[in-house]
Amino acid sequence: MRALVRGVAEENVTSGSRRVWAILRRQRHVLVSRKRVRRIMREEGLLREVHFPRPRLPATGNQAAREPNRLWMADITYLDTTDRGPVGLLPVEDTCTREILSWELLISCGAADAFRVLEAAVLARFPKTGRASGVTLKTDGGAQFTAHYFQDRARGLGLSLETRRKRRPEDGGIIESFNGHFKIDYIYTHEPTTYAETRLACGEHIRQYNEERPHSSLDYLTPAAFYQSKLKEAKG
């Protein structure tokens, strides 16, 4: 058991005992109490103090939709690269399942760039029709999201658009929480690298987030597993 706990903790260096316990239970099918996991981590020196700055994460409140494909959010956070300077990570997230439906690491963050990421999210969830009727996309008031180019084409995909209120970051708490945790789990544990290396690392991090990392608000299911559970529930 000690070796299992150590292995999971070392693979998830910023995770606490609660998440390590959830991974053991949900993914490794190991029957163990959370108290025992915490004790082993403490004895093994795996309950590390955090020595990097933690961004203040906004409360998510009651923003999550009850069903998938009802409310999506998009937001940009910036990463430093050694060869292209600051680049923008733009994820599109389903607020019900917390899945990142699409993402891109953008050298330029214009309206056309943002639309390509949104279009990829629509095709990921609606591959047959290419239309996201019934979905609302919530963004901040950034120029790329308020441009006619973006809004006209987004509505052409069937989406309704909503802009968060100014000076009210809690309106976008779910996507800002993802970006904030991304900075904890990735930025502050990686030295800046080239654009290509950063993009590969972002892709792997987001894959792990969707498919491997249990989420406390999803009863410790991963976002991908929670989405599948909602599909089964809808089928009755």
Domain boundaries, the chain: 2-49, 71-230
Residue 94 is predicted with a pLDDT of 98
pLDDT digits (tens, 9 = 90+) for 96-112: 999 999 999 999 999 99
- Residues 24 and 5 sit within 8 Å (Cβ to Cβ): yes
Sequence-distant (≥ 6) Cβ neighbours of residue 16 within 8 angstroms: 47
13 SS3 class? coil
pTM of the model: 0.77
Residue 61 is predicted with a pLDDT of 46
Residue 190 is predicted with a pLDDT of 75
Superfamily of chain region 71-230: Ribonuclease H-like superfamily/Ribonuclease H (3.30.420.10)
32 alpha-carbon distance from chain centroid: 28
**CA nearest neighbour of 177 among 216, 212, 208:** 216
Average pLDDT on 202-218 reads 92
CA angle 158–153–174, rounded 5-degree value:
70
Longest dimension (CA), the chain: 57
- Residues 191 and 178 sit within 8 Å (Cβ to Cβ): no
Q: Which of 40-54, 139-153, 180-194 has the lowest mean pLDDT?
A: 40-54
Average pLDDT on 203-227 reads 93
- Residues 26 and 220 sit within 8 Å (Cβ to Cβ): yes
